[in-house]
């Protein structure tokens, strides 16, 4: 038993040793865990980029922003990918990031993007997703959802304190209802079956049939259509609008691989990268004309309006909006 | 010439060293985080609410878990029936479930569309809802009733057969057995079991939130998470981490005050000729066992039903990750035993009472270390020495070994104390020391709790996600990490298959060690 354990430990430690690519320069990119996983876009992007850069692209996974904040100027990252707009204010404040040098005027995002530092690579909107075999009469607007009797719908959502989509929901309600957001939450709270830490728990409860609706994305139905041939899942488009969620990449100012990091920024907006995004990330790519999207994405309904707060607005609203949300549920 | 009653020099001093090391790791990481933040910062009123909620739900969950475990453990200890061994083993399962799997399993049974509500609807009864504080308590009892039961079953098994036979020959009624044998044993074991459950509930957070129905069910651990992830406020995270440590030390002091040694004396380890009381107690025990088994095993069954059909279709990477996780779990288990044994021996002999209390406190500390604070602290310290992604696996193994230590200790400490009380003098008078003492006295006497502890450590390490999330390494993903990656990419069905695999492997590891210990 002991010798077995020792052998296993030895093999583990050797497995943990980094596979050194023979004298190729290494580009280190910090990414969220989902991104670099086998089912995320990471592996395809790595293969595509390495085919043209003569380098070794390494994704280091984990919580990107907390990690950058902890490491500060000593970070080994040459670039980061997968930040949310709710994190860019704090990321920008570190002064560690350099301009991306891309032409953002040509982006196909519904929100006009002008940020010179943080570059969008994919987006969608938050939306309530339901299954038409279980819910026959979904609400037609946010107001109708709020005015429904207390037990009309059972919704699962994410906690804004622990999840980016949860925070986006908070900003969505604030954007529509402004000073009346507290009352909106008070009306919505009875419809909320429960609040989970992450999106995964919520979505699992929804697909298991426990909840009628889940707070997810306008692009969620595409997964079920493409992978499961299931045409019964729909995202609700509200006339009040749906809130924009975008994921961003940036390069580090003090990288020791400035050319490679810049090349990676260029690669992000390349057609090759952008065509991988829809079915690897189940979201809209940041720069791809509609007619080049997969059919399932072209057929998805679009919201009438895409709502969005600028970084500074969102940063100012975050804490008071969270207070309102907590108070509505604390009753 | 009085014989020296202390054992070889290795026990106590090694134990003290291990205890000091533990305290350094747990408290040191909080210190490092606070240092990085340039001090601790104050707490908001929501944080204080979280502290209050955490306290009362943990106390209630622990009291219910241990209270319900008493009749279950007694019934299991005094009855023999077909499948009893398997049932005792299966009782270890809920504790080993990853939180997300446990949530879906519980919801499948007690949720809106669950089996319980389906049955109630068929009987024309109103629906019951689990979302609220009752859901938090239900989930915590589901996780911890088995753990408490196992610890108490060890206690019943430790009552020497000679005492039971004496009781029978004196014509003891069940009431007398309760008074003279069972209650003293419970007085020794139950406070420690309560403490272990209390501390587990203190740091639980994913399950508490999902079944708590909303932010009312906010625990301190969630507040720590928020401080890290959203406010990047390390000072507040460190303050909250300290609050958790203080609460735990208070709980430890209370449990230590209540516990008292049972003092049965040694027996000859004859197999128990069990003859539980007859009459109405037979169906009562059967009902208790049936209810507990039903409550604990139906959610597991629902997880199996969802996942087993998916097993053949799982991608190869899932199996690779499973192999990696098993290797890591075995290493963690070996480390846990290496740390737990000197601690338990040091506690059973050697130092004065005050020092002993500190050693025990240090041994329980890992239970309350927030994985986030621990992981961040280690990250901050280690990044000066090596690339953190290379450290991901060794650090995860180390942290998991430390995290499982308290459970191993809970099983080991009472057994080690009994061993010392019963055989300490004999061993000392024979001059049994060092390796010989270990071989002829310690290992044979402590075999069962050691096996249980190692099994628990392996299984917990198998299902842990804690620190690896911060040090993540996509190329060397563990099985729990892969499970979350699958869910995060909408692949709920594959995730259900991976969950069954994870459950099966955790369970097989636990069974191997536990069985090895009880031979």
pLDDT digits (tens, 9 = 90+) for A285-300: 999 999 999 999 999 9
- Mutant choice from A8, A14, A170 vs B, greatest count of B C-beta within 10 A: A8
Question: Shortest Cα distance from A200 to chain B (angstroms)?
Answer: 5
- Residue of chain A whose alpha carbon sits nearest to that of B484: A200
State how far the Cα of B347 lies from the Cα of B417, in Å rounded to an integer: 8
Cβ atoms of B382 and B40 within 8 Å: the answer is: no
Taking CB atoms and an 8 Å limit, are B390 and A17 in contact across chains? yes
Cβ atoms of A69 and B36 within 8 Å: the answer is: no
Q: What is the CATH architecture of B13-37+314-518? A: Orthogonal Bundle (1.10)
Per-residue model confidence (pLDDT) at position B372: 75
Taking CB atoms and an 8 Å limit, are A15 and B324 in contact across chains? yes
State how far the Cα of A260 lies from the Cα of A267, in Å rounded to an integer: 10
Taking CB atoms and an 8 Å limit, are B327 and A11 in contact across chains? yes
- Position with higher pLDDT, A66 vs A22: A66
Which residues have a Cβ under 8 Å from the Cβ of B225 and sit 6 or more positions away?
A161, A162, A197, B205, B372
B485 touching chain A per CB within 8 A: yes
Q: Provide the CA B101 distance to its chain's centre, in angstroms.
A: 17
Q: What is the mean pLDDT of chain B?
A: 80
User: Which tens digits make up the pLDDT trace of B288-307?
Assistant: 888 988 888 898 888 889 88
Per-residue model confidence (pLDDT) at position A132: 95
Per-residue model confidence (pLDDT) at position A4: 42
A236 has a pLDDT exceeding 90: yes
Q: Does the domain spanning B43-261+274-311 belong to CATH 3.40.50.1000?
A: no
A242 has a pLDDT exceeding 80: yes
Cβ atoms of B234 and B34 within 8 Å: the answer is: yes
DSSP secondary structure string for all residues of B447-498: HHHHHHHHHHHHHHHHH--TTHHHH--GGG--HHHHHHHHHHTT-HHHHHHH
What single DSSP character describes residue A160? Answer: T
Chain A CB contacts of B225 under 8 Å are 161-162, 197
Residue A81: phi, psi to the nearest 5?
Answer: -140, 145
- The domains of chain B are located at 13-37+314-518, 43-261+274-311
Q: What is the mean pLDDT of chain A?
A: 89
Per-residue model confidence (pLDDT) at position A186: 94
Interhelix angle B492-518/B281-307, rounded to 10 degrees, is: 140
Which residues have a Cβ under 8 Å from the Cβ of B427 and sit 6 or more positions away?
B7, B437, B441
B127 touching chain A per CB within 8 A: no
Per-residue model confidence (pLDDT) at position A14: 41
State how far the Cα of B184 lies from the Cα of B193, in Å rounded to an integer: 15
For residue A24, what are the CA distances in angstroms to A57, A260, B35, B188, B451?
Answer: 10, 12, 38, 63, 49
B272 has a pLDDT exceeding 70: no
CATH class of A125-243+309-330: alpha beta
State the pTM of this model.
0.86
Q: Which two tokens stand for residue B395?
A: 């650090």
Taking CB atoms and an 8 Å limit, are A329 and B215 in contact across chains? yes
What single DSSP character describes residue B127? Answer: P
Per-residue model confidence (pLDDT) at position B189: 82
Q: Provide the CA B254 distance to its chain's centre, in angstroms.
A: 19
Which residues have a Cβ under 8 Å from the Cβ of B482 and sit 6 or more positions away?
A37, B317, B318, B321, B498
Q: What is the CATH architecture of A26-123+245-299? A: 3-Layer(aba) Sandwich (3.40)
- Candidates B69, B56, B374, B65; CA nearest to B217 is B56
CB pairs under 8 A between A and B: 189
State how far the Cα of B296 lies from the Cα of B102, in Å rounded to an integer: 11
Ramachandran category for residue A127: left, alpha or beta (phi over 0 → left; psi -120 to 50 → alpha): beta
Q: For B176-313, where are the E strands, in sequence order?
A: none
Residue range(s) occupied by CATH 3.40.190.10 in chain A? 26-123+245-299, 125-243+309-330
Per-residue model confidence (pLDDT) at position B209: 86
Per-residue model confidence (pLDDT) at position B2: 39
Q: Which of residues 7-66 of A touch B (CB under 8 A)?
A: 8-9, 11-13, 15-18, 31, 33-34, 36-40, 42, 59-63, 65-66
Q: Give the pLDDT mean for B471-484.
A: 74
Q: Which of residues 50-89 of B touch A (CB under 8 A)?
A: none
C-alpha angle B325/B328/B329, rounded to 5°?
A: 85
Q: Which two tokens stand for residue B449?
A: 């709790």
- Mutant choice from B34, B396, B488 vs A, greatest count of A C-beta within 10 A: B488
pLDDT classification of A315: cutoffs 50, 70, 90: confident
Ramachandran category for residue A309: left, alpha or beta (phi over 0 → left; psi -120 to 50 → alpha): beta
What is the distance in angstroms between the CA of the first residue and the CA of the last residue of chain A?
56
Cβ atoms of A185 and A324 within 8 Å: the answer is: yes
Rounding to the nearest 10 degrees, give the CA dihedral for residues B143, B145, B150, B152.
Answer: 150
Taking CB atoms and an 8 Å limit, are A208 and B495 in contact across chains? no
């Amino acid at each position: 038993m002991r010798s077995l354990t020792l052998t296993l430990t030895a093999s583990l430690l050797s497995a943990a040793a980094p596979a050194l690519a023979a004298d190729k320069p290494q580009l280190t990119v910090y990414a969220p865990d989902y991104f670099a996983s086998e089912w995320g876009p990471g592996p395809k992007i790595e293969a595509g980029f390495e085919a043209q850069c003569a380098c070794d692209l390494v994704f280091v996974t984990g919580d990107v922003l907390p990690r950058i904040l902890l490491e500060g100027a000593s970070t080994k990252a040459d670039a980061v990918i997968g930040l949310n707009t709710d994190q860019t204010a704090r990321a920008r404040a570190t002064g560690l990031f350099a301009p991306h040098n891309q032409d953002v005027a040509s982006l196909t995002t519904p929100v006009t993007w002008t940020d010179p530092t943080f570059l969008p690579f994919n987006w969608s909107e938050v939306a309530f997703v339901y299954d038409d075999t279980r819910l026959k009469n979904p609400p037609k607007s946010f107001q109708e959802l709020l005015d429904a009797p207390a037990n009309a719908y059972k919704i699962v959502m994410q906690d804004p304190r622990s999840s980016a989509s949860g925070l986006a929901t908070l900003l969505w309600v604030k954007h529509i209802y402004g000073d009346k957001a507290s009352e909106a939450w008070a009306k919505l709270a009875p419809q909320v079956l429960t609040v989970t830490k992450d999106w995964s728990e919520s979505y699992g409860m929804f697909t298991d049939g426990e909840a009628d609706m889940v707070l997810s994305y306008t692009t969620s139905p595409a997964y079920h259509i493409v992978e499961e041939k299931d045409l019964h899942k729909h995202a609700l488009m509200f006339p009040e609008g749906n809130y924009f969620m975008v994921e961003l990449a940036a390069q580090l100012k003090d990288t020791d691989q400035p050319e490679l990091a810049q090349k990676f920024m260029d690669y992000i907006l390349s057609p090759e990268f952008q065509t991988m995004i829809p079915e690897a990330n189940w979201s809209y790519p940041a720069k791809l004309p509609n007619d080049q999207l997969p059919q399932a994405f072209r057929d998805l309904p679009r919201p009438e309006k895409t709502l969005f707060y600028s970084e500074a607005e969102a940063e100012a609203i975050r804490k008071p909006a969270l207070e309102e949300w907590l108070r509505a549920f604390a009753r | 010439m009085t014989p020296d009653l202390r054992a070889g020099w290795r026990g106590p001093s090694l134990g003290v060293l291990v205890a000091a090391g533990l305290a350094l790791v747990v408290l040191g990481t909080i210190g490092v985080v606070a240092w990085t933040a340039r001090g601790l910062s104050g707490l908001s009123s929501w944080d204080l609410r979280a502290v209050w909620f955490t306290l009362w739900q943990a106390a209630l969950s622990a009291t219910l878990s241990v209270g319900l475990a008493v009749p279950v453990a007694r019934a299991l200890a005094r009855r023999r029936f077909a499948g009893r061994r398997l049932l005792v083993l299966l009782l270890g399962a809920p504790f080993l479930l990853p939180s997300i799997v446990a949530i879906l399993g519980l919801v499948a049974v007690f949720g809106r569309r669950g089996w319980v509500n389906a049955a109630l609807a068929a009987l024309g009864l109103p629906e019951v809802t689990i979302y609220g504080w009752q859901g938090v308590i239900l989930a915590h009892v589901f996780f911890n009733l088995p753990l408490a039961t196992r610890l108490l079953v060890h206690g019943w098994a430790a009552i020497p057969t000679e005492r039971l036979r004496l009781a029978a020959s004196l014509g003891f009624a069940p009431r007398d057995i309760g008074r003279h044998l069972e209650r003293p044993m419970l007085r020794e074991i139950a406070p420690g079991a309560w403490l272990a459950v209390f501390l587990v509930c203190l740091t639980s957070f994913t399950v508490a939130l999902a079944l708590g129905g909303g932010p009312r069910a906010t625990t301190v651990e969630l507040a720590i998470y928020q401080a890290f992830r959203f406010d990047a406020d390390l000072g507040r995270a460190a303050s909250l981490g300290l609050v958790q440590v203080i609460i735990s030390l208070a709980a430890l002091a209370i449990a230590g005050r209540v516990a008292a040694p049972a003092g049965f004396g040694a027996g000859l380890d004859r197999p128990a000729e069990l003859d539980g009381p007859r009459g109405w107690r037979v169906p009562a025990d059967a009902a208790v066992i049936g209810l507990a088994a039903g409550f604990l095993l139906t959610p597991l069954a629902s997880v199996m039903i969802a996942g087993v059909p998916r097993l053949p279709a799982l991608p190869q990477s899932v199996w690779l990750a499973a192999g990696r996780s098993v290797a890591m779990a075995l290493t963690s288990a070996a480390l846990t035993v290496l740390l737990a044994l000197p601690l338990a021996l040091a506690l059973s002999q050697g130092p004065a009472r005050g020092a002993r209390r500190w050693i025990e406190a240090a041994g329980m500390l890992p239970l309350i270390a927030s994985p986030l604070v621990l992981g961040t602290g280690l990250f901050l310290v280690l990044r000066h020495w090596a690339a953190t992604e290379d450290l991901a696996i060794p650090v995860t193994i180390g942290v998991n070994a430390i995290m499982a230590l308290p459970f191993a200790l809970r099983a080991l400490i009472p057994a080690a104390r009994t061993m010392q009380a019963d055989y300490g003098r004999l061993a000392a008078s024979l001059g049994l020391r060092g390796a010989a003492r270990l071989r002829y006295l310690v290992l044979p006497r402590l075999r069962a709790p050691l096996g249980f502890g190692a099994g628990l450590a392996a299984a917990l390490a198998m299902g842990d996600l804690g620190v690896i999330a911060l040090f993540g390494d996509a190329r060397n993903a563990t099985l729990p990490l892969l499970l979350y990656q699958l869910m995060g990419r909408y692949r709920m069905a594959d995730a259900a298959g991976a969950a069954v695999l994870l459950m099966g492997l955790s369970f097989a590891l636990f069974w191997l060690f536990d069985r090895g210990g009880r031979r």
